[in-house]
């Protein structure tokens, strides 16, 4: 551990191993048991065996526990698109991003499913999710433009990518692991050719 990192922990107070992950799991469990509205940050901290002060070191509020993963997801998409071979078409680059995202979801299907049930049950959270997906589409479009993709093509590819992402995510959760999310995404990209009318 570097001196800088050690100083950081001294500054921030006692270091709790995997505090973020413990808070996230405690929040999901409480949201599921009692409902999102009925759960406070203090209760989440207590369930995780941490203080409320620790909670607020990691999250601005209880909603943020559900949405803080959005930035990592966006980075995952952007990195995959940026890192795709030069020869990849826009939809191939986007397909690489979908595969990377699918692999991450696959690893933690239980908490993904738990989170989704919480979000679906609350209108404000559903709205927040929509806004995050719109931001994700904009980030995908920007990453494609960075690759030299023309403006309108980048926007259209990004919107289509998010559509495939949403539909494959939903089908994957509904089908209870009959197929991997990556496979469902691939099938949808093939289906897209049929839909486009060729």
Closer residue to a copy of itself (CB): 34 or 193: 193
Nearest approach, Cβ of residue 169 and a copy of itself (Å): 12
Contact between 152 and a copy of itself per CB under 8 A = yes
Query: For a copy of itself, which is the closer residue by CB, 17 or 197?
Result: 197
- Least distance (Å) from a copy of itself to the CB of residue 193? 5
**Residue 183 interacts with a copy of itself (CB under 8 A)?**
no
In eight-state DSSP terms, residue 64 is: H
> Does 194 help bind a copy of itself (rule: CB under 8 A)?
yes
Nearest to 84 by CA among 163, 2, 157: 157
Interface with a copy of itself, residue 167, by CB under 8 A: yes
Please state the closest distance from residue 137 (CB atom) to a copy of itself, in A: 9
Pair 140, 94: CB distance under 8 Å? yes
Which positions from 77 through 106 interact with a copy of itself, judged by CB under 8 A?
Answer: 89-92
Residue/partner pairs of 124-129 with CB below 8 Å, 24 or more apart? 124/63, 125/36, 125/63, 125/66, 128/63, 128/66, 128/67, 129/67
State the Cα–Cα distance between residues 80 and 97, nearest whole angstrom.
5
- Residue closer to a copy of itself by CB (options 61, 107) is 61
For a copy of itself, how many residues bind (rule: CB under 8 A)? 29
Q: Measured between alpha carbons, how far is 155 from 145 in angstroms, rounded to an integer?
A: 9
145: number of CA atoms within 13 Å, CB side? 11
By beta-carbon proximity to a copy of itself, the closer residue of 16 and 159 is 159
Residue 59 has phi, psi (to 5 degrees) of: -135, 140
The two tokens of residue 86 are: 């030069």
- Asked whether position 156 contacts a copy of itself by CB under 8 A, the answer is yes
The binder of a copy of itself chosen from 63, 159, 179, 180 (CB under 8 A): 159
164 lies in the site for a copy of itself, by CB under 8 A: yes
**What is the rounded distance in angstroms from the CA atom of residue 122 to the CA atom of residue 189?**
30
For a copy of itself, the binding residues (CB under 8 A) are 89-92, 127, 130-131, 134, 152-153, 155-157, 159-160, 163-164, 166-167, 171, 188, 191-198
């Amino acid at each position: 551990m570097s001196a800088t990192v050690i100083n950081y922990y001294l500054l921030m107070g006692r270091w709790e191993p995997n505090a973020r992950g413990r808070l996230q799991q405690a929040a999901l469990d409480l949201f599921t048991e009692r409902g999102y509205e009925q759960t406070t940050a203090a209760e989440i901290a207590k369930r995780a065996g941490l203080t409320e002060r620790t909670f607020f070191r990691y999250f601005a509020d209880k909603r943020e526990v559900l949405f803080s993963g959005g930035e990592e997801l966006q980075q995952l998409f952007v990195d995959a698109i940026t890192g795709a071979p030069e020869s990849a078409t826009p939809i191939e680059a986007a397909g690489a991003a979908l595969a990377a995202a699918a692999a991450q979801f696959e690893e933690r299907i239980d908490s993904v499913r738990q989170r989704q049930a919480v979000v679906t049950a609350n209108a404000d959270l559903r709205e927040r999710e929509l806004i995050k997906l719109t931001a994700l589409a904009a980030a995908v479009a920007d990453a494609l433009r960075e690759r030299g993709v023309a403006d309108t093509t980048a926007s259209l590819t990004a919107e289509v990518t998010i559509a495939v992402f949403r539909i494959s995510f939903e089908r994957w959760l509904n089908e209870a692991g009959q197929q991997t999310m990556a496979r469902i995404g691939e099938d949808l990209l093939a289906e897209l050719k049929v839909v486009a009318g060729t």
